[in-house]
Amino acid sequence: MSGSFHYLQYGSKRIEYLLLSSARKTLEIAVHPDSSVVVKAPSSSELAAVELKLRKRARWILKQLRYFQQFVPRTPERRYISGETHLYLGRRYQLKVVKGELNKVKLARGAFIVSYRNDCDQKKTMALMENWYSQKALQHFNNSFIRCWVSFERYGVERPDLKIRRMKNRWGSLSNGSSIILNPELIKAPSECIDYVVTHELCHLLFNDHSRDFYNLLGSVMPNWERIKRKLEFTMA
Ligand SMILES: [Zn+2]
C-alpha cells in the first residue's frame, strides 16, 4: 500500500490525513486514538473525489478528534522548580536547583543541575535554561543540517542557510527558498525528529507544496519518515 499525507481545510479547521490506496471497493475513514486520520480509498480514486467524501464526514472526524484529544497526556506547565522533568533530545531529565559557585546549567548524571550563587527564582531558572537550550539548538541543528543536506546536493539546488526563530505551531519552515527556519523548541525532540523536520523543509526546495512529488521525494530520502513524524508528535505532545 502506498500512502501520502494530505490536508483538508474545513472552516477554520485543518484536518491532516494519511491517504492509503488499497484494493478495496469503498472508502474507509478511521480516526485513531493518537489523533491520526487514516483514509483507505480504492486505488482508482481521484483525490478530488476523496476530498468530497471527507468533507461530508468532516464534522464526524472533528468530533472523534475532540474525543481522543481529552486523553492525550499533555506536559503540564513548567514551573522551573526542583523535581519536575524537562526534555532534551527526546529524553526527560529531572531538574535540580542547587546552591553553587555560578549561575549556570549543566546536564550531569541524568539531571539538569541549575546552580546559583545567590537566591534563585523561577524566572531566573527559566532564563538560564532557555539560554542553555538555545546554545544546544544552534549546535545540534547545524549538525542535523549538515547530515541532511548530503542527500540534496545532487539535485542542484542552492544550499539554504539555517536560522533559528520561535514560531507558534510549527517546527520548521522554508523562507523564500533560501533559509530554513527551525523552532528552538525542537531541541527537546529526539535527534532523528530534528533530521525529519530539516529533511521535510529541504524537500520544499524542490516542491513548495505537499504534492505527491513532494512525498515521493521525502520517502526516497527518508523512507521511515512517517514513524519519525509520529514520534515527534508523541514526544512533544
Ligand atoms: Zn511542508
Q: Is residue 78 part of a domain?
A: no
Q: Grid coordinates 480509498 are at which residue?
A: 41
Question: Cα of 194 to ligand 1 centre, how many Å?
Answer: 14
Question: Cα of 131 to ligand 1 centre, how many Å?
Answer: 28
Question: Cα of 79 to ligand 1 centre, how many Å?
Answer: 33
* Identity of the amino acid at 31: V
| 201 touches 174 (CB < 8 A) | yes
Question: Cα of 185 to ligand 1 centre, how many Å?
Answer: 18
Whether 127 and 102 share a structural domain: yes
Most confident listed range (26-40, 79-93, 107-121, 139-153): 139-153
Question: Cα of 72 to ligand 1 centre, how many Å?
Answer: 24
Question: Cα of 83 to ligand 1 centre, how many Å?
Answer: 37
Count of the separate structural domains present in the chain: 3
Q: Is residue 196 part of a domain?
A: yes
What is the dihedral sign for C-alpha 18, 19, 23, 27? positive
Whether 14 and 39 share a structural domain: yes
Question: Domain end: 94, 115, 133, which one?
Answer: 133
Whether 146 and 188 share a structural domain: yes
Whether 127 and 143 share a structural domain: no
Whether 7 and 29 share a structural domain: yes
List pLDDT tens digits, range 99-115. Answer: 887 888 999 988 999 99
* pLDDT score for 72: 59
Mean pLDDT, to the nearest integer, of 136-141? 97
Question: Cα of 149 to ligand 1 centre, how many Å?
Answer: 16
DSSP code of residue 37? E
Question: Cα of 183 to ligand 1 centre, how many Å?
Answer: 14
DSSP code of residue 186? G
Whether 98 and 147 share a structural domain: no
Residue 226: pLDDT above 60?
Answer: yes
Residue 74: pLDDT above 80?
Answer: no
Q: How far apart are CA 196 and CA 224, in angstroms?
A: 9
Whether 124 and 166 share a structural domain: no
Mean pLDDT, to the nearest integer, of 88-104? 90
Question: Cα of 40 to ligand 1 centre, how many Å?
Answer: 22
Residue 60: pLDDT above 80?
Answer: yes
Question: Cα of 176 to ligand 1 centre, how many Å?
Answer: 13
Question: Cα of 110 to ligand 1 centre, how many Å?
Answer: 34
Whether 221 and 154 share a structural domain: yes
| Distance in Å from the first CA to the final CA of the chain | 28
Which band of pLDDT confidence, cut at 50, 70 and 90, is reported for residue 117? confident
Chain centroid, CA 91 distance in Å = 15
Question: Cα of 209 to ligand 1 centre, how many Å?
Answer: 7
Question: Cα of 169 to ligand 1 centre, how many Å?
Answer: 13
* pLDDT score for 6: 86
- Residue 98: closest CA among 79, 123, 125: 125
Whether 51 and 18 share a structural domain: yes
Residue 69: pLDDT above 80?
Answer: no
Q: Grid coordinates 506536559 are at which residue?
A: 75
Mean pLDDT rounded to a whole number for the chain: 90
Put the strands of the sheet holding 85-88 in their side by side order. 85-88, 91-99, 111-116, 104-108
**Exposed / middle / buried, residue 208 (Cβ in 10 Å: 0-12, 13-18, 19+):** exposed
- Residue 144: closest CA among 78, 82, 192: 192
Residue 94: pLDDT above 90?
Answer: yes
Segments forming the whole domain that contains residue 100: 85-133
Residue 210: pLDDT above 90?
Answer: no
Question: Cα of 173 to ligand 1 centre, how many Å?
Answer: 7
Which band of pLDDT confidence, cut at 50, 70 and 90, is reported for residue 70? confident
- Helix ranges, 13-167 (H): 47-69, 122-149
